[in-house]
Homo-oligomer: A and B are copies of this chain.
Amino acid sequence: MPSVAELNEKERESLLADHPDWELAREGKAIKRTFQFGDFSEAWGFMSRVALLADAQDHHPEWFNVYAKVEITLTTHDAGTSGGLSQRDATMARAIDGLL
């Protein structure tokens, strides 16, 4: 049995409405957002702040970086039967958006 509740349809829609820069990925089991900065230094500064959030919330992103671009995918491995979106992802998306 999963230890974290998966968001239901309504909660998922609410998450996307509150965070319009994020889109569903992996058939609704994750959300994703791409960030474009001016250079690597700016991108890295942002990633460092996200890393602090991740450790504080004990919820870590799957992310990709090349130079000034950062792609973040949020999903909860313990949610649903094979991972899914949970309130943890909504909390993390809100915190990340708050950095910008």
Contact of A66 among B48, B51, B60, B66 (CB under 8 A): B60
A44 to B66: give the CA distance in the assembly, Å: 16
Copies of this chain, tallied across the complex: 2
Q: How far is the CB of A39 from chain B (nearest CB, A)?
A: 9
Total number of A residues with any Cβ neighbor in B under 8 Å:
15
CB <8 Å contact, B55 and A60: no
* 19 sampled A-B residue pairs with Cβ under 8 A: A40-B51, A40-B54, A40-B55, A40-B60, A41-B55, A44-B51, A44-B55, A48-B48, A60-B66, A60-B67, A61-B65, A61-B66, A62-B64, A62-B65, A62-B66, A63-B64, A63-B65, A63-B66, A64-B64
User: For residue A41, which residue of chain B has the nearest CB?
Assistant: B55
Residue of A44, A48, A63 with most partner-chain B CB within 10 A: A44
